[in-house]
Structure 1
């Protein structure tokens, strides 16, 4: 047999030794609404929650009665337990609109989630650009901020939690996209900026020297991968750690350029154009897909999970 579910309802009375003003103030603080609206709720015999089990309903009752309210727990399905007027309000959606503990998704929650997500993405980009440091924990913080902001609106429930998780995913991915876009633009500018010509020429001469080592050492596939590790063409510390994407990029772009340099077939101007062509050819989305390491994925999941739980769990605890 299924567990009995209860309706949590304000009775309209207050306990002895409590003034109406005291209860209104405490309820306003508890529900994060203004005192006038709290006073209206006390007098309205409002339904605060439905479909909760006995343990949660009792917990809800104890919390609210501790601030001076009198709370009724009404078993669902009991005939005559709710007045005709209240039933009408439920049918018209009035209780849902007036109840500050929104158990369904609403426009206010969506706007707050979207605004927080956008701010989070821009803040992450700012931190990465300003401090030249991309911290994965910021992704976790973004998810927490979205969930917390939406919970402050009083919106709770699974639909709201799923929406928060989706906005967290959007914000984190957008933040990384903006960081990649900024880095790509800076690199493209560096390749064409006359003020940086000397630095680029130095980089050209340096890679030209490396091309001679490449021609001597890279006699087979394994030696090419070892060259990548030895001279910084991969972030891996050994050939077993080189990703398939890095291997393909080296074979398609870097290796042909190194061979041309070794044979003196690539001038400085051509080398610049070659590098610039690579940046133009590779899309931001492709770079984005390549940028997620295991640590990034971990913090991404933590951010999404935190956004979800902050809204969904709060509903269960209320």
Structure 2
């Protein structure tokens, strides 16, 4: 009996060791990631992108032993960081982690040193930061339909605050107004916090901002969400419709946080990158972080996401030209 148990233990040990060796060889043969990965974030430290970068880095370290460095390079609407990645060696070791705006909005407003459709390649959308349309105490409307009706009655009178000129909220509202044939007055702020402060004071009729910064105010009853520009409804606001549910499927404006690589990364490295990132995004640790941050899953990986970015770039360019929108 003792001999049988001993042999059984030996067999189990050998099997476990074999699995470990196989896993080690698989990681060693994996074209990506390497020993180090630099994620360039084109914004100041402490924002959503940093949280996403840290969580991805923890997963890559745990599964592949990769040391991930999050490097903040803010400035010029995200174009400083984007330019740094466009000029980086295309080996997959330097990626941009940002919303899609530096590629799909900002280059349509000003001339950039990089060509957003040629100098970088979209890798994966990692998370969606929904944008909400909310009524403040300055307006009596309580549904999106009532808002449209009121806007048609009083063209150019309803005001809405956005986090800045050329922001996703700004372009989204321009597209929405054109689609519905209504006219509202935009009030641009320097960031979402200032917009929310004035919205709570009733200085604007509406707020169009990322939903995470207004969740406590909605819970307190001081702001009323009318609609969300997101792929699906928010868990905290189960009764608030999406644009698609309001028969406005083309109004897809939200903070789409994503990874971008410099053009020219070898195909085997890019394929491995897609596989590894897809696995990381499905990891329970990453999913729990999204839920905690009130974000939604990304919109695609690889060719699907490349198509989304190109279509968004072209659509934003059209909205900006037709609306004579400038960054000033």
Pairwise same-fold verdict (TM > 0.5): no
Query: Which fold has the larger relative contact order, with Cα–Cα distance below 8 Å and residues 6 or more apart in sequence?
Result: 2
Q: TM-score, normalised by structure 2?
A: 0.22
Instruction: Answer 1 or 2: which has greater helix percent.
Output: 1
Instruction: Answer 1 or 2: which has greater strand percent.
Output: 2
Larger-gyration structure (1/2): 1
Q: TM-score, normalised by structure 1?
A: 0.23
